[in-house]
Amino acid sequence: MTSPVIRSATISVLVENEAGVLARVVGLFSGRGYNIDSLTVAPVDDNGHRSRINIVTSGTDMVIEQIKAQLDRLVPVYKVADLTLGGPHIAREMALIKVIATGEKRAEALRLADAFRARVVDATSESFVFEMTGNSDKLDAFAALMRPLGLAEVSRTGVAALARGATII
């Protein structure tokens, strides 16, 4: 029996780095009505022939099986791995977070940034830009705390992910 429960899945796709490959992947998601919660892509080998696409998506088990099978049949795809199902994995993203604040709020923002190990990468008398790396929940939590303190703008990279241990996809 399959569960009708919606789960989140982090899927890594190793692709030939050719024109249109990202459009194929994105078009597949939009054309078939699948969700994309986050997507990252960059070349990952020495000569830039292969790229890794990391997609965070959600759906029932049956839908996620479909997504993987659909991705796997694209011609320029080498490999599809479900990191969520495949055992423990690390997923990280980076965010740049701009807070515009003065006085006590400014001091509080700095204290919280310190607690979250966010780095100050830009500062003026009325603003900070924090850089922060972690899993998505941690970034969400930090952004939520900054909101009452003057959160002005957020730029996030999306998730990069690898399986833990010696496992490779």
Partner 1 sequence: MTQILAAPDPVETHQAGAEVLLRALKEQGVEVIFGYPGGAVLPIYDAIFQQNAIRHILVRHEQAAVHAAEGYARSTGRVGCVLVTSGPGATNAVTGLLDALMDSIPLVCLTGQVPTHLIGNDAFQEADTTGITRPATKHNYLVKRPEDLARIVHEAFYVARSGRPGPVVIDLPKDILIGKAPYVSAPTAEHRSYRPQTEPDRSAIARAVALLKSAKRPVIYSGGGVINAGPTAGAAMTALVRKMGYPITNTLMGLGAYPSNDPQFLGMLGMHGTYEANLVMHGCDVMLNIGARFDDRVTGRLNAFSPNSKKIHIDIDPSSINKNVRVDIAIVGDAGRAIAMLAEAWDADPTPVDRPAIAAWWKQIAEWRGIDCLKFDQTQASGGIIKPQYAIQRLYDITRETGRDTFITTEVGQHQMWAAQYFRFDKPNRWMTSGGLGTMGYGLPAAMGVQIAHPDALVIDIAGEASILMNIQEMSTLCQYRLPVKVFILNNQYMGMVRQWQELLHGGRYSESYTEALPDFVKLADAFGGTGLRATSVDQLDDVIREMIASPRAVIADICVDQKENCFPMIPSGAPHNEMILGTEHGANIADAGAAKLTDAGMALV
Binding site for partner 1 (CB under 8 A): 2, 15-16, 19-20, 23-24, 27, 31, 62, 65-66, 69-70, 72-78
Cα first-last separation, the chain: 27
97: enclosing H helix or E strand: strand 89-100
Residue 19 or 166: the one with the smaller Cβ distance to partner 1 is 19
For 115, residues 6+ apart whose C-beta sits below 8 A from its C-beta are none
Q: Which amino acid is at 144?
A: A
* Closer to partner 1 by Cβ: residue 4 or 165: 4
Q: Which is nearer to partner 1, 54 or 136 (CB)?
A: 54
Q: How far is the CB of 23 from partner 1 (least distance, A)?
A: 7
CB of 105 to partner 1, least distance (A): 48
Query: Nearer to partner 1 by C-beta: 11 or 110?
Result: 11
Stated as kind and residue range, the H or E segment containing 131 is strand 127-134
Q: How far is the CB of 96 from partner 1 (least distance, A)?
A: 32
Query: How far apart, in whole angstroms, are the C-alpha atoms of residue 81 and residue 3?
Result: 20
